[in-house]
A and B are shown apart, each in its own frame.
Chain A
Amino acid sequence: MTSEAVAADAALYLTFRLDKEFLALEVARVREVLDLCPITRVPRTPEYMRGVINLRGSVIPVIDLHRKFGLTAVATSIDSRIVVIELDHEGEGVVVGILADSVHDVIEISRGDIDSSPQMGARWRTEYVSGIGRCKDQFILLLDIDRIFSNRETGSLIEG
């Protein structure tokens, strides 16, 4: 994607891999992609809260979606990245990082190519997925970021 204008009924997505699955996030929500850096674990917090990192002087949390989604944890590799996104938390923007096994492309998916009420196997918890996009004969899960960190969820992150 470069100078081509994005069609009115389409949006740009950043694709990344989690275990064997391809997922996508709206580009508008993504701030940057970082190489893996040392993550400091915060004690007494749930497993999927991987810890905190130093992002140019500010401390931001990193979330491990493997554990959040109940996937088997995969050891980090040279391809692992941290996708820094901004999400809405109790009415205010919060910056968090998401651990990805690798980050791929920015793609354009038109609304027509999104199936917003997908039937999925038990492997995925549908509440975190806003739909399935089709791009070049590949199916990509579109993540509903705010849902993942919805009030109910983030509020209970610590107690859980």
Chain B
Amino acid sequence: MEDRHIKAFKEESYDILGELEALLLELEENPRDAGLIDRVFGTMHTIKGSGAMFGFDAVSEFTHEIETVLDMVRDGILPVTSGLIRLTLSARDKILEMLDSGTQSLDEEALAIVAGFRKMVEVEEPEKKEETTAFPSGEPAVLNTYRILFKPRSDIFATGTNPLLLLAELRAMGESAIVVQTDAIPLLADYDPEACYVSWEIVLTTALDENAIRDVFIFIEDDCELIITRIFEHDPTMECENYRRLGEILLDRGELTPEVLETFLGRHKPLGEQLVEAKVVLPEKIEAALSEQEHVRQVLQRDRDRKASSLRVDAARLDSLVDLVGELVTVQARLSQKAAGGNDPELQLIAESVERLTEELRDNAMSIRMVPIGTLFSRFRRLVHDLAGELGKQVQIITEGAATELDKTVIDQLNEPLVHIIRNAIDHGIEPPSQREALGKSTKGTIYLAAEHAGASVVISISDDGAGLDPEKLKAKAVEKGIINQDDDLSDEECYALILRPGFSTSAEVTGVSGRGVGMDVVKRSIDSLRGTIGISSRPGQGMTVSLRLPLTLAIIDGLLVSIGQGLFVIPLSVIDECVELSRDEAARSRERSMMTFRGEALPYVSLRAALGIEGDPPDIEKVVLVNAMGKKTGFSVDQVIGQHQTVIKTLSRVYGNVEGISGATILGDGTVALILDVNQLVMAERSDSQRKSQIIGLRRAETVS
């Protein structure tokens, strides 16, 4: 039992230390940010407190020393210097080490760090404080929720006022729910098109005060009826129960008297419906009250969410949950198939419900495993910081899209490849400051790390503004290493892709960081195993970009089920553009030329039957699935397109090794196995095939000529 608590403490501490690292690095860039200093202090304090509680006395003692210094920083006595940041970072590493070893005493290194902190205090103490209150207080603002009744006079338009602009202004102040009241609109015969008949009820949650809201209406104050009531003060530290009920809101708004309300309560129908039916309250008024209720409820809910309603769960449990969902999806497919085949409407209904639930469950289970990639990004700040120092370069890292979510397994496996790429960028890409200056670049190099969603995949790009790649150099190197032949004709992109080949390293000397020629091919392999692709672009002298395209999840994908002969195959839906039909003549022509015409465009055409070596003749009308593979649209001919299929990905047995063109298998509704096609590999294989063919033809021609 003891162990379990200590384990939980450790896990939590690792998180806190990770956060601390990120905070420190951020602080280095914004040394005057009082909020950051507070948070750094807070994390240290937490570690100190819980360390002592769980018997990590050494950690507690050690942290106490740091805390003393940080306290002075917080009070503005000590400035934030890069020396302080460096020392605190090494202290953070030390704490990590001490947690792992469970040591009860401070070793020499720890004592040295403590001495460093003490020295800092001594140096600073005589100088005393110069500016103590330089930092703005980082108190979180108190949120208030207001109910605003805005009823412009009917001739408001004559003054040139557009009420919608005012509403937009309100909306910009915070979260709002706006309901328009249309009960005053007369019949068409009495309607004056230049008059304003509507009014608005707004519920606004904002950090600003009532005067700020009044200021919005300042120019038309006399031309409208404006009632602002504060209905809710928000105290984030308090546990809030639910907001008032509809009846209470209506009472509060003066739409109802308590006596009337009394008569309606206790009946079974929802109160709102009754009131409208009895024509006691207008439907618009009910709607406004309901939206107020909903708005406050949402604000409260978010508060509660923020207040750590998160749960720490063992990753293995999540994995088994996803496995179970996978099994369920398979069984559900079977049920649906059985139901569709039979003639039992009731069963079909059940099957449909199960299908819907399974789909929701699947999405839910998947989303639980989604983790923002920011957790990964923050680790690289430290890496860049340390590496740049080691290599005597100045490098800053800019990240974007840290909130982009990816499956946890994918994130876990991304760390290593990204470290490789970033190392490469700093070591080979970014030049030393003097050289950069000579080139007219800023002395500080930039690594730009970005993640974004693109359909069912996530694209992570790592750019630097360094030297970039030189295609000619790459080619020469590859020829020298015997990877390609001298007379191979390669495009620039193909040259860049050479760095992904095993045994290829461009750096002449081996540094401790990279240059052993094992970097990028490892990256390629890791990304391949994640079913992702790598693209490299470069502009000599201006830097290069490596973009990784990764699937959102590894476990279940949406696929299109197709048949060729007796065999069933799944093509990932994410790469499919559309499906078309080809007649026998067209198909024959396409096969011959490996090209098809589609909407006046010539596209590469791959007969899957031939590519997969399946015997038999294609049917009269062939279906062609147009996919986006390797950045190009390609037609894959199949016999039949069967339909969409939720595909639970199973790996082929290891005895198969790597089968070209097949990325895995899945189990269909009837219990048989279908194979999942890897279109990228198929296209690549086809390309090298056709290249070989054209080379052979070229050779034959050469022979006949000679």
Interface stretch among A27-35, A45-53, A70-78, A133-141? A45-53
A54 interface hit (Cβ, 8 Å): yes
Per the CB 8 Å criterion, the residue count for chain A at the interface is 29
Instruction: Give Cα A40 to B565, complex, Å.
Output: 12
Judged by a CB distance under 8 angstroms, whether A6 is at the interface is: no
Structural contact, A40 and B659, CB atoms closer than 8 A: no
Measured between beta carbons, the chain B residues less than 8 angstroms from A45 are 656, 659
Contact B656–A44 (Cβ < 8 Å): no
As a 0/1 sequence over residues 336 to 361 of chain B, the CB contacts with chain A under 8 angstroms (1 = contact) are: 00000000000000000000000000
Flag whether A42 is at the interface (Cβ < 8 A). yes
Determine whether the beta carbon of A42 is less than 8 Å from that of B671. no
Once A40-B674, A43-B613, A44-B661 are accepted as A-B contacts, the answer to whether A57 and B655 lie under 8 Å apart by CB is no
A155 to B654, CA, bound (A): 10
Q: Pick from B330, B658, B661, B675: contact of A40, CB below 8 A.
A: B675
For residue A157, which residue of chain B has the nearest CB?
B655
Q: Which segment of B392-400, B645-653, B698-706 sits at the interface?
A: B645-653
Q: Which listed residue, A38, A49, A95, touches B656 by the CB 8 Å rule?
A: A49
Q: Closest CB of chain A to B618's CB: distance in Å? A: 16
Partner of B673, one of A54, A94, A154, A158: A54
Does A68 have its Cβ within 8 Å of any Cβ on chain B?
Answer: no
A96 touching B653, Cβ below 8 Å: yes
Contact status B652-A52, CB under 8 Å: yes
Interface contact B652-A43, CB-CB below 8 Å = no
Does A61 contact B671, Cβ atoms closer than 8 Å? no
B665 touching A40 by the CB < 8 A rule?
Answer: yes
B653 touches which one: A43, A44, A60 (CB < 8 A)? Answer: A60
Complex contact B660–A59 (CB within 8 A)? no
Q: How far is the CA of A57 from the CA of B327 in the complex (A)?
A: 7
Residues in A neighbouring B326, C-beta threshold 8 A: 57
Q: Is the CB of B655 within 8 A of A52?
A: no
Set of chain B residues within 8 Å of A53, measured between Cβ atoms = 673
**Residue of B whose beta carbon sits closest to that of A156:** B657
Cβ contacts under 8 Å, A58 to chain B: 650
CB of B652 within 8 A of CB of A42, answer yes
A45–B567 Cα gap in the complex (Å)? 15
User: What are the residues of chain B within 8 A of A4 when measuring CB–CB?
Assistant: none
> Contacts A40-B672, A43-B612 known; A57 to B661 CB distance under 8 Å?
no
Residue B672 contacts which of A38, A49, A89, A154 (CB distance < 8 angstroms)?
A38
Residue of A nearest to B664 (CB): A59
Using Cβ atoms and an 8 Å threshold, which residues of chain B touch A95? 653
Q: Residue of A at shortest CB range from B677? A: A43
Indicate whether A57 sits within 8 Å of B656 (C-beta atoms), given known contacts A40-B567, A43-B614, A43-B661. no
Q: How far is the CB of B248 from chain A (nearest CB, A)?
A: 54
Could you list 17 examples of A-B contacts with CB < 8 Å?
A41-B567, A42-B675, A43-B662, A44-B613, A52-B673, A58-B650, A59-B650, A59-B652, A59-B673, A61-B652, A61-B653, A61-B656, A89-B654, A89-B655, A92-B654, A96-B655, A157-B655
**10 shortest A-B CB distances, which residue pairs?**
A43-B612, A40-B673, A59-B650, A61-B653, A59-B665, A38-B672, A158-B657, A54-B667, A52-B673, A154-B655
Known: A54-B667, A59-B652, A59-B665. 7 other contacts (CB 8 A): A43-B612, A52-B652, A52-B675, A57-B650, A57-B667, A59-B673, A61-B656
